[in-house]
């Protein structure tokens, strides 16, 4: 089973849920798809593993063949090419690697060359296999790195995917193909607003979902009322608890110091299994 853990906004404790879930289950694979700010490894403290570069193919213009017709620049929807007078330039950071400019150039003046935009790291923390991505500073395209992380999915294991916060392309890429999406939220008006947007995206993708309310006890009942209206099960509540917060601030997953929580996370996965089977 593949379970994505996502949240409409940052700071809801999504990664804490991912890590505590994985530690409670034991033999799992965790994919940290939050490639702009991966921090599952900080909590799991894995052994150093293997690193794989993530590359995109970007165009290189061979000026000796180019007649500066400008067709490639007119074609590019991302303004990654500029042709004027006898100058032809490529802005690799803007290129989405669609390959179209190579096709429209009738003079075979464009070749493609690899450009590294990040990396994937594969490592082990006890029984847990961890794969995480890291995007290079200044790069904008997180999706190809998430896809590269997902290329390492182990179909024989329970897989937990930690999504980037928000409801844009990284969320869509992460949850695509999963069996269930666990949305972590806080019971505040801000949490509700971002949860509503994330729910809409997951509904469009037609993926079964449930909610984990973190910091339960603060805020108001808005999140609970919304979930009831939408028929979305609230599958777990993690209280606003000083001890949990202190453990988190020290980088200690709370199931390690509060083992009574392990069974609650195991029960959560059983509930997810029942929801998926419906």
Rule CB under 6 A: which residues touch ligand SF4? 59, 61, 66-72, 75-76, 78, 80-81, 83, 88, 95-101, 105, 107, 109-110
Shortest separation between residue 89's beta carbon and ligand SF4, angstroms? 10
For residues 128-167, one letter each, b for 16 or more C-beta atoms within 10 angstroms of the residue's C-beta and e for the rest, the string is bbbbbbbbeeebebbbbbbebbbebbeeebbbbbbbbbbb
DSSP, collapsed to helix, strand or coil, labels residue 48 as strand
Shortest separation between residue 177's beta carbon and ligand SF4, angstroms? 25
DSSP, collapsed to helix, strand or coil, labels residue 87 as strand
Residue whose CB is less far from ligand SF4, 35 or 56: 56
The CB-side HSE value for 150 (13 A sphere, CA atoms) comes to 23
Residue whose CB is less far from ligand SF4, 67 or 246: 67
Show the tokens assigned to 164.
């980037």
Point out which residues pair with 82 in neighbouring strands.
Answer: 89
Shortest separation between residue 105's beta carbon and ligand SF4, angstroms? 3
Shortest separation between residue 164's beta carbon and ligand SF4, angstroms? 22
Shortest separation between residue 139's beta carbon and ligand SF4, angstroms? 14
Residue whose CB is less far from ligand SF4, 99 or 189: 99
Point out which residues pair with 112 in neighbouring strands.
Answer: 59
Residue whose CB is less far from ligand SF4, 58 or 202: 58
Residue whose CB is less far from ligand SF4, 33 or 72: 72
Show the tokens assigned to 170.
């990284």
DSSP H helices in 8-84: 14-25, 40-44, 71-75
């Amino acid at each position: 089973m593949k379970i994505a853990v996502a949240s409409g906004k940052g700071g809801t404790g999504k990664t804490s849920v991912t890590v505590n879930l994985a530690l409670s289950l034991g033999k799992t694979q965790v994919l940290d798809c939050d490639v702009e700010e991966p921090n599952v490894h900080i909590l799991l403290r894995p052994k150093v593993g293997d690193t794989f570069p993530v590359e995109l193919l970007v165009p290189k213009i061979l000026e000796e063949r180019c007649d500066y017709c400008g067709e490639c620049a007119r074609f590019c929807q991302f303004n990654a090419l500029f042709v004027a007078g006898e100058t032809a330039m490529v802005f690799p950071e803007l290129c989405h690697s669609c390959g179209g400019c190579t096709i429209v150039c009738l003079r075979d003046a464009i070749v493609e060359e690899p450009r590294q935009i990040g990396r994937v790291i594969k490592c082990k923390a006890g029984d847990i296999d961890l794969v995480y991505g890291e995007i290079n500073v200044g790069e904008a395209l997180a999706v190809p790195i998430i896809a590269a992380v997902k290329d390492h999915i182990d179909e024989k294991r329970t897989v937990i995917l930690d999504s980037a916060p928000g409801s844009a392309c990284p969320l869509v890429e992460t949850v695509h193909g999963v069996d269930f999406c666990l949305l972590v939220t806080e019971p505040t008006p801000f949490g509700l607003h971002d949860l509503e947007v994330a729910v809409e995206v997951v509904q469009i993708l037609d993926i079964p979902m449930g909610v984990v309310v973190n910091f339960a006890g603060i805020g108001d009942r808005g999140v609970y009322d919304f979930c009831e209206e939408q028929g979305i099960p609230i599958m777990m509540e993690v209280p606003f608890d000083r001890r949990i917060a202190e453990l988190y601030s020290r980088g200690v997953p709370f199931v390690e110091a509060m083992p009574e929580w392990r069974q609650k996370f195991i029960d959560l996965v059983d509930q997810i299994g029942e929801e998926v089977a419906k």
